[in-house]
Structure 1
Amino acid sequence: MPGTVVVIGGGAAGFFGAITCAEANPSVQVILLEKTTKLLSKVRVSGGGRCNVTHACFQAGPFAQHYPRGHKALKRMLPHFGAQDTVAWFEKRGVKLKTEPDGRMFPVSNTSETIVECLLQAARAAGVLIRTGVGVQQITPSGPHAFALHLSSGDTLAAEKVLIATGGNQKTEQYQWLADLGHTVEKPVPSLFTLNVPSSPFKDLQGVSVPKAKVKLTGQKLETEGPLLITHWGLSGPAVLRFSAWGARLLHGQQYTGTALVNWVPEVPEEQVRQQLLDMRQSSPRKTVLTNALFGLPNRLWQRLCELAEVPADVKWAELPGKAQNKLIELLIRTPFEVQGKTTFKEEFVTCGGIALPEINLDTMESRKIPGLYFAGEVLDIDGITGGFNFQAAWTGGYLAGKAIAGL
């Protein structure tokens, strides 16, 4: 049985691993180290301060499909601790979750402080010793299941087992201390970001959104669907965040430039779009094109598409020039946006990359290279789209590591 366990990182995965281990084996001394003075900082800001705890999808296979990196790993890990287990875990500790129409799950209180306080109380109750302002600069294996942790304070801490849950970082050099242990680090690049379109003719429509749009990168297979939001800097919303997650490496390689095509009516086939415009000529010949939005699109968006298609301001459907009609159809299905850069989505940056998964035993989260060393959370090459998937990966990995470290 381990005597002293050190958890490095005071985020979701670190806390969950520490709590799980301490609860499963009370004889273990669990010490959690956080290099900053703030604990669970990402939990606090998630979901606009409400904390998107998990997603209402209770089968491992479908849930795992929401991870651009690590979906095979999650398919294996989730049966041991999935979304339903997360819901039960928090409810057992007095925190009830609710499901929103899009599947995201939040505390009924609608504040992330409920989740933060629950984790802090659980850690205290389990006897976890929490130390903030303490960074780990180097880990030296000093024998089988024996480690010396060299701290930023100059002190050295001994541990039988170590869980690394330091989160993601967008700088490769921040992983050097882990690479020094012999682990492979997949190059970190940003994920979950919005698209900057400085030349966008829609910028003044900031705040206008559509419930479902398709975003495609020209010349590539990258294509995603979902709600889309027009911003003063370009494009945002779940469709764009999924686009950036699935295309994280591709977009990084293109230096965040390229042409994104937006289909504003993805559920309507192109021929049907054309037919509906032709039908309007017959059914509403005297109605003005600009003031009669089709396909349920917001009026301001419809009017801008008409302007870009050079539809005359007062033209009636019966008089709509063929050239303008064809241009309008093209814009409805393929509006081009010239992407020139990215913007971090709120404070919820996610990193694609990290410790290579083949070097981890996914049943226990233990390193295949160094016995007694474990990993959980975003420090691994695992990342999900928005909707509670990144937190679920943290809870799952932390739980598996905590159980294994406790010797169960």
Structure 2
Amino acid sequence: MNRVAVIGAGASGYFAAIHAAAQGCVVTILEKTSKSLSKVKVSGGGRCNVTHAAFENRLLVKNYPRGEKFLKVSFEKFSVKNTIDWFESRGVKLKIEQDGRMFPVSDDSESIIKALEKEASKLHVIIKYQFSVASIEKNEGCFKIKSSQNEELHFDQIIVCTGGSPKLQGFDFLSKLGHKINPPIPSLFTFNTPHDPIKSLMGISVPDAFVKLEGTKLSYQGPLLITHWGISGPAVLKLSAFGARWLADTSYKAKAHIRWVSNWTEESLHTDLNSFKSKHPKKKISSNPLFGLPSRLWEHFVEKSEISIEEIWINISKKQLNRLIQNLFCYIVTIDGKTTFKEEFVTAGGVSLDEVNPNTLESKLVSGLYFAGEVLDIDGITGGFNFQAAWTTGYIAGTYISNKG
């Protein structure tokens, strides 16, 4: 009988355990805390953003700043469609929201948790809580796992699903087995702009901005939100993921350029503003916001362009008009720090993908050792992509380990 340890009771851990047990393995999940599926519970504000309606794998992989090539192979084995089918066949129907995110119809993460727990229970998966792995050794084809309390367990094969760790030490037990660890850094965070007056406009959002990091080709477009600490929203969070390494190297000190409507050109702005000026020469500039921009945001641009609150369009100088265009088309904010949401914490970094087989998720260095989920150097942007990677890698590791065993 093949004895399998799954280290970590998160999404990938449960999925790996279920698929290994389904084919006859005796599976024990080792979880260092007293709870399981914690991230599943809080994801999407407690609704659980299960996956994303990206049904073409070639488009799906574009949402992973790290791991795109690796996942091209893995998604052929377990795709978004497979995820939907798996949950729906267990009574959990999913729905697609306007932005492509997928949630259970119940809008309750408990639906997902119960489906996973019920399946694990049916397959007699054992869960051992408060077992923090201190070391793994392999002798004569058998793995010895020691806990930080010096408890010792023996298994034939192991799937590591410990998730991301904010510190490199969290991967020590894998480094000692010879695996290269790419240092963990935060991904998915907001840009703090403590010295920019724009933060006084907290709560204002625009639906489709374009944000670029100065001195790079890194950019993203989408909804942008102004907060009391700086700028946030999907455009910023997704840009932070693609720029995670670069931003870490700058110690989170950089400049971001914002185009407040993504499809603007400087020419089109110039034409539109001059057209409005000729049609409404006596209208006050500050009290007539254009382009559907929130009035407080428009007033901020007018003030920053050194246009008085009483100024009418006919009196605007060429210099003032150019400044207004600049603030609309390329508003520059100085980033100084970041804010990471702990419940949605995602790391870039982890086990180097060069040392893992994407077809099986088995280590190329240690036979019988497998990986799934965020412990690998794989991370996705917001929108259900990290969970999809968890289901896919968990499925492959669990299925292949049981076939091999």
Which TM-score tier does this pair reach, normalised by the shorter chain?
A: over 0.9
CA distance in 1, matches of 2:75, 2:50: 15
TM-score (norm 1): 0.97
2 CA distance for matches of 1:265 and 1:311? 21
Deviation of 1:121 after TM superposition, in Å, equals 1.2
Identity %: 49
Letter in 2 for 1:68: P
Which ranges in structure 1 are unaligned for 5 or more consecutive residues? none
Q: Secondary structure at the match of 1:361?
A: coil
Query: Which residue identity does 1:182 align to in structure 2?
Result: G
Query: Which residues in structure 2 correspond to 1:173-322 (within 5 Å)?
Result: 173-322=169-318
Alpha-carbon distance in 2 for matches of 1:212, 1:218:
19
CA contact (8 A) 2:2 2:402 kept: no
Q: Distance in 2 between matches of 1:256 and 1:106?
A: 33
Which secondary structure state, in structure 1, belongs to the residue aligned with residue 6 of structure 2?
Answer: strand
Distance 1:241 1:16 in 2: 27
- The equivalent position to 1:401 in structure 2, one of 381, 397, 402, is 397
Whole-angstrom distance in 1 between the partners of 2:310 and 2:76: 60
Match of residue 331, structure 1, among 327, 331, 337: 327
8 Å contact from structure 2 (residues 264, 329) kept in 1? no
Partner of 2:12: 13
SS in 1 for 2:288: coil
Bigger Cα displacement from structure 2, 190-199 vs 339-348: 339-348
- Note if 1:382 corresponds to 2:381: no
Superposition RMSD on alpha carbons, in Å?
1.1
- The amino acid that maps onto 1:392 is Q
Deviations 1:136-180 (A, max 9, x none): 110000122x10111233221110010000000121111111000
The code of the aligned residue for 1:4 comes to R
Deviation (angstroms), 1:346: 5.4
Where 1:90 maps in the other structure, the secondary structure is: helix
Q: 2:355 aligns with which of 347, 355, 359?
A: 359
2:121 pairs with one of 124, 127, 139: 124
The number of residue pairs the alignment matches comes to 404
Measured in 2, the distance between the counterparts of 1:392 and 1:84 equals 10
1:80 aligned to 2:110? no
Q: Which residue of 1 aligns with 2:53?
A: 56
Alignment of 1:138 with 2:135, yes or no, is yes
Runs of at least 4 residues off by over 4 Å = none
From 91, 109, 117, give the equivalent of 1:94: 91
What SS does structure 2 have at the residue aligned with 1:198? coil
Q: Which is further off, 68-77 or 218-227?
A: 218-227
TM-score with structure 2 setting the length:
0.98
What is the DSSP-based 3-state SS (H/G/I as helix, E as strand, rest coil) of the residue aligned with 2:273? helix
Give the distance between the partners of 1:321 and 1:347, measured in 2 at CA: 50
